[in-house]
Each structure stands twice: as structure tokens, then as C-alpha cells.
Amino acid sequence: MISNTLHADIDNWTLTTPAARSTRGVVASQHRVAARAGAAQLDAGGNAIDAIVATAYALNAVEPWMCGLGGAGFMVIWLAKEKRAVALDFQGTLPGGIRLEDYPVDPERPRTPMGFPGVIDNANIEGYRSITVPGAVAGLDHALSRFGSRSRREVMTPAIQLAERGLFVDWFTSLQIGVCARTLARDPVSAAIYLPGGHPATPESRLKIPRLAETLDDIAEGGAESFYRGALAEKIVADLQAGGSRISCDDFAAYEVFEYAPMAAEHRGYTLYTPGEVSGGLRQREMLAHTLKAMPTPPETPTAESWLAYAEALEACWRQHKIRNGVLAPTDGHTDGHTDGENGACTSSMSSVDAEGNMVALTYTLLNRFGSGVTLPSTGMLMNDSVSYFDPRPGYPTTMAGGKRINSSNMCPTVAVKADEARFSVGASGGNLIMPAVTQVAALMMDFDMSVETAVHHPRLDASFRGSIRVDPRFDPATLSRLGERFALEIAQQTVFPKLYACVSAVARDPLSGECTGLNDPTQPVGGGAAPAPFEIESLGDAGPVVRP
């Protein structure tokens, strides 16, 4: 049955987005300028790893609210010559000196995006005590040094140039700032940058993030060693401790990247590689297994029964996930009703492929939009709020503990391989929405032989064992009716904000023609794919006055 209607038919346009195509490789990102920074590495002779690292660093300057130096995440790499996949875990870690008493539960506050209790003063999602040791720089530096082909300086030059130029404010940027204005106002540095005059920055201006370009330049020179054990580490930790964080220099020095063989899931002749049980990968594997059992031989095109199989599979894997995380009892046959963190508010995902067939999926995040809301004064780094990944109550699998690493995430960067050739890479942003969106796009390509462009544009549903499922009204009436027989439905249009079906980035490569295709979700007005071309900062335009804190 239809239980309620949200955002149904409120925008009177059809959202589509163009795909980038090239036999020399492509990059897809939530910001097309960052994708161009990555594609420039391909144009200069670099590989897919060079491209993804350049894209990730460039996002610090053009999409700082989603990810950056103060964040953490996962990467999956397909190495074409070696015919093997590699996963990198560069998730954040809690301070060694963290104390549960710093996070007293407040039953009046809403749950965190991960479903854990809120605490007094939002200390686990806002401000200095919500910050974990960030893994992003370690992860990007590890990927580049192990599998890239260009120097750190070459790969990071576009990001440095963009940071020196400043963040160009369009209407979408103003929206991101406005949504988080209250959190940003709590931190004087962030408020000075993003709320000039006490109000969200207006379109046609440019925001200069103080010392961000210098910090990126320092990383280009000294890499992860300086960031975690050198002069940069000292500056970062001094700022953190001055703001009340318990993170120490020892915590930074102890940080390490985990490189390992990724989790594999077999589906209709494909092998899908993900970062495994600490990511959304286990739920993806479980969802595909349920789908295969319910739909052993798919029809030529998706039917109402196909979508019922997808919805039931998502419900089943999410129920198991909530049991594993301790937010649902094994004997509980109903949802916990949790719906927080489901508006696509966080994270950035990007994918790349080169002419040799190397392929990468990278997802990294500050967790919430603008993370903790804290910008460190000495480095210009916007910091995560990943303490909210942990339970503030004792005795649970994800309970806070000194030095503990994030061990449960929705991020699900995926590389799909068939006959020893990487065929497509897909990832998404959007909290609880990520795994359902990524897995549906992948399933449509594998079950129905859709192109990546068709699959990304296809209507999606969202299900996470919460008492109802959300469906796009673009589904045909027969599908809506069949789903309504089994579930309470929320009919919700796909919109720019809130993003109710995640924000997908994907690339694909045809092994016969060598043509590569890349695109970002049609709901992301600043996203896009990019084909190899030189990166020219002058061509980006420079409209509007510079707003300096």
C-alpha cells in the first residue's frame, strides 16, 4: 500500500546528464571540474590511479563539504596487467585517549546517521570532539606511490591551482552552505569562510579558504610522512587539541592504510569487488545472492517481479546488517523505524578507467555534509565528524574505544570484472542510500545488459528495513502496484535536494572497442564525466569578487 507521499511530482522537468566518452579513458565525479583534473592525468600519459587521486584532491577545492583532507574512505583498484583487484581501507580511527563520559547519551536528540543515540551538545556529530584521525591523505598517497605512474606534485597541481583560485559559489554551493549554516556558525573559522557577514555565501562570488593551497602544496612536497609524522602533523594536532579534541601526535603517527584482497561476489558471470565487510560490500553480496535465488533467469527487461525481487533482497540484507551492528535484535521481525541520514547528505564518490583497462572506484567522506563543521585555522582543513560512526553506549560491536578504527560503513565502491576485463566501476554518496543505489545500478547492467548510461538514468527504489520502501514515481503502474502489495510505499520523486536515491558516479569500458564511458548522477547539477584533455585553470572562468575571511 502507499503509506505516504514525499516529493512526488514537485519538479516539472526531466533530469538527464551527458556521458563522457573516449578510448583513452574517462573519469566520473560529483564535480565535473574535479573530473577534468583527473582526466588531465590521462591526457598527460598517467593511469587510472593517477586520475582518481588527482580528482580526489581537487574535490578539496570545489566540493569541500563532502570530502577532503580531513576525511576517510575506501578504494578498489583493478590492475589490468596483473589481472587482480586491490582494496584500500583508509578509514578514520578514534583517539587513543577517547572517553565515553565525553559523550553522554541525550534521549531528546535524534540518532546519528549510523543509527546510534545522540549525545549532549551533539558532541559526536559537531565540533572538535566529533573528529577522528583522518585517513584520506594516507590512502591517496599509498595508492599513488604503489600503483600510480606520475609524481605527487604533477597529480596535485590542479588541486593546488583550484585552491589558490578559490571556491566559485553557484546556487548549488549556496544550497549546501545554507543547509548547514547552523553547524558552520558554531566554528569561527568555518563561519568566516562560508557565512560572510553572517549569511550563506551568495552565488557569483568566490570563497578563499585560508591556507588550504599551502597545505596541499606541503602534501605535494612531503606526502603522508609530513601529514602524519612531520611538521604538518604538529600543526594539525595543535589545532585539534586547542579546540578540545583528544587526538594526539601519537595517534597521527600510528595511523596506517590497510591494503588487502577485496571481497568478491559472483553474479551472472561477473565478479564484483568491494572493500568487504567493513563497507557496504557484504550487504551487496547478500543482496545479489537473494536476487539470484528469486530470479535465476532474468527476463529481457525489468518487470514488476524483478523490482519486487530487488526490494525483498535489499530488505533482507539490511535486516541482517542491523542485527550485526546491534541496532536490531535477531528475533525482531520488524524495523527499528530509523530513517536518519537518508537524504544523500554526505560523501563523494568517483570512478576512473584508462586505455589499458585499469579501473578504480573511490568513495571518501567527511561523514555529514561539512563534517564536524570545524575548519582547522592553521591548515584550512575541514574536518570529519566520524566519531558518530561509533556507539556511545558500552557493550556494543561498534562501541567507542581508544584507537578503534571505523568498522561499519555504508560506502560501497565497486569494480565489476568479467573474463579478466574490468567492465564497470560504480560508487555513490548518500549514507544509507549508497549500497541500494550502487547495487541496483550494477544489477541492472548485469541482469539486463543495460549500458552504464541507461542504468544510471533508470528509476530506482530505496529499501533498508525501516518499515516502508521509497520508490520513484517514474516506475510503471504495474511495478508500483506490485510493490504496494508487499510494502508500504513512499512515492518520492528524484530531486536535486534532497537526494533520495543517492548520487551515483560510474564508468564503463567495452573490452572489444576500448570505448570508455563515464557519468555522474543526473540529480547532481555540478557533477559529470570527463575525457582526457589538458587542465587549464583559466578556462574555468573567474567570475565574481573574492570573499576573504
The closest of 458, 112, 423, 412 to 286, measured between CA atoms, is: 412
Domain boundaries, the chain: 2-166+208-527
Q: Are 458 and 430 in contact (CB under 8 A)?
A: no
pLDDT for the residue numbered 111: 85
pLDDT for the residue numbered 6: 56
pLDDT for the residue numbered 328: 72
pLDDT for the residue numbered 339: 45
The topology under which CATH files domain 2-166+208-527 is Glutamine Phosphoribosylpyrophosphate, subunit 1, domain 1 (3.60.20)
pLDDT for the residue numbered 341: 43
Q: Which residue has the cell 531528546?
A: 108
**SS3 (DSSP) at 392:** coil
pLDDT for the residue numbered 541: 61
**Measured distance CA(377)–CA(375) in Å, rounded:** 6
543's grid cell: 567570475
Q: Which residue has the cell 530505496?
A: 462
Kindly state the helix (H) or strand (E) to which residue 77 belongs, with its residue range. Answer: strand 72-79
pLDDT for the residue numbered 323: 86
Angle between helices 212-229 and 136-147 (to 10 degrees): 80
Cite the beta strand spans of 389-453 per DSSP E.
414-418, 421-429
The closest of 190, 238, 233 to 215, measured between CA atoms, is: 233
DSSP strand pairing (546-547 vs 206-207): parallel
**Measured distance CA(78)–CA(146) in Å, rounded:** 13
The stretches in the chain having pLDDT less than 50 are: 336-344, 543-544
pLDDT for the residue numbered 408: 83
**SS3 (DSSP) at 490:** strand
Phi first, then psi: what are they for 369, rounded to 5°? -55, 130
DSSP 184-251: HHTSHHHHHHHSGGGSPPPTT-EE--TTHHHHHHHHHHHHHHHHHHSHHHHHHHHHHHHTT----HHH
Which pTM value belongs to this model? 0.95
**Measured distance CA(361)–CA(374) in Å, rounded:** 28
* C-alpha separations of 541 from 169, 171, 207, 537, 544 in Å: 12, 16, 14, 8, 10
**Measured distance CA(239)–CA(422) in Å, rounded:** 43
The closest of 323, 230, 252 to 93, measured between CA atoms, is: 252
